[in-house]
Amino acid sequence: MLRKRNKLSFRKLAQRCDIDYSNLKKYEKGEVNISMLSLIDLANALGVTTKELMDF
């Protein structure tokens, strides 16, 4: 898991990519679909490309 590998809590990662942390939890668990814009923001916050994030 990239978030854990980068030692980021849900809240800290959510702050980095300007996504509500409760939504971030749902994305990680696969409970809801992530928008393309949020996916890009998340990839940038994790320091990876969107392709790398989707292939993970």
The CA distance from 17 to 14, in Å, is 5
Which residues span the domain enclosing 25? 2-55
Query: Would you state the pLDDT for residue 43?
Result: 95
SS3 category, 34: coil
What is the chain's pLDDT, residue by residue, as a tens digit (56 residues)?
788 898 999 999 999 999 999 999 999 999 999 999 999 999 999 999 999 988 86
Domain count, the chain: 1
| CATH number of the CATH domain containing 36 | 1.10.260.40
Tokens 């980021």 identify what position?
Answer: 8
